[in-house]
Homo-oligomer: A and B are copies of this chain.
Amino acid sequence: MKLVTAVIKPFRLDDVKTALQQFGIQGLTVSEASGFGRQRGHTEVYRGAEYTVDLVPKVRVEVLVEDHEADPVVDVIIKSAQTGRIGDGKVWVVPVDAVARVRTGERGHDAI
C-alpha cells in the first residue's frame, strides 16, 4: 500500500478530483496548505507599508492506493494538475504499512 500526496494549485483541485475518479479512485482526503518555493509570493500594501507574503495558497491531496497504482496515480495527478507555470506543485509517494476502515474495521486492500 502507498500514500500518494500531492501539493497543487487550489483551482486545479476539481480537475484532479475528477481525473482520479475516472481513473477509479474511490476516495481521497484534501486539506489546505501554503507553499514556499520557486513561485514568488505576492505583495500586499496596508497604509503605505508594503509586505511580501512568501507563502502561496496550495491544496494538499492524499490518496491511499495499492502498490501498483502508485505510479499511474502520480501520472494522473500530474496530468490533471499541470498548468505548465511555476508553482504547479509536487507529488510524492510514501510506503504504508497498514490501512484500516474505521466503519468496519476492515484492513488492507478492502479498507481503501
Copies in the complex: 3
What B residues does A64 contact at CB under 8 A?
90, 92
Q: What residue in chain B is nearest A58 (Cβ atoms)?
A: B29
A31 to chain B, nearest CB (A): 4
Q: Are B17 and A102 in contact (CB-based, < 8 A)?
A: no
Q: Are A55 and B34 in contact (CB-based, < 8 A)?
A: no
Selected from B2, B35, B77, B111, the residue in CB contact (under 8 A) with A27 is: B35
* In the complex, chain A residues 72-112 whose Cβ is within 8 Å of any chain B Cβ: 74, 77-78, 81-103, 105, 111-112
List residues of A whose CB falls within 8 A of some B CB: 1-3, 6-8, 17, 26-38, 54-55, 58, 60, 64, 70-71, 74, 77-78, 81-103, 105, 111-112
Top 10 A-B pairs, shortest CB-CB distance: A27-B37, A88-B103, A88-B102, A31-B33, A93-B97, A93-B98, A89-B102, A92-B99, A91-B100, A30-B34
